[in-house]
Amino acid sequence: MKRWFWLVVLTTAMATATAQEPSTQPDGLQQILAQQQQLRRDLDAGRTEGMTTRQVNMIRKSQQQVFAVTEGKSRLDQLTMDEKIQLENALERINAEVKNTRAGHDEKQVCWREKQTGTTINVTRCGTEAEKREAREGARDFLDRPKVCGENCG
């Protein structure tokens, strides 16, 4: 279990570092894929102590997304912005399952694309899962507020 944790933490750190400086680590994607393949072999060998079947299935599903997004690519700079976001999110989901805590799920970094109000421009926003949930709930609360003000508004 500790081995997986450090493997995923290292993978996530490398993905972030490589995304920020692709010229200094051109083989970062290959390292990520090699580590994910090793994690897959560990799961196939039954080294899942301390993990539920649901967690193992979530890791496998996220790994499928990692391999699908990176298929035919050898460097991170070959990925589109949307593919980089999908890759980062999948690696964070794997990390959260390996950490196996609610705090791990809330603290995982996620990125999402949203339209900027008044334009057709898509903006990439990143934050923790808790921040994303908070923003989504704030938007719902705004939409649920009455649109017409009566006598006692304020």
Query: pLDDT confidence of 12, banded at 50, 70, 90?
Result: low
| Residue 62: per-residue pLDDT | 94
Residues 35-41: contacts with CB under 8 Å, at least 24 apart? 35/7, 35/10, 35/11, 36/11, 36/63, 36/66, 36/67, 36/94, 38/7, 39/4, 39/7, 39/8, 39/63, 39/94
What would the pLDDT profile of 118-134 be if each residue is shown by its tens digit? 888 888 888 888 888 88
pTM above 0.85, yes or no: no
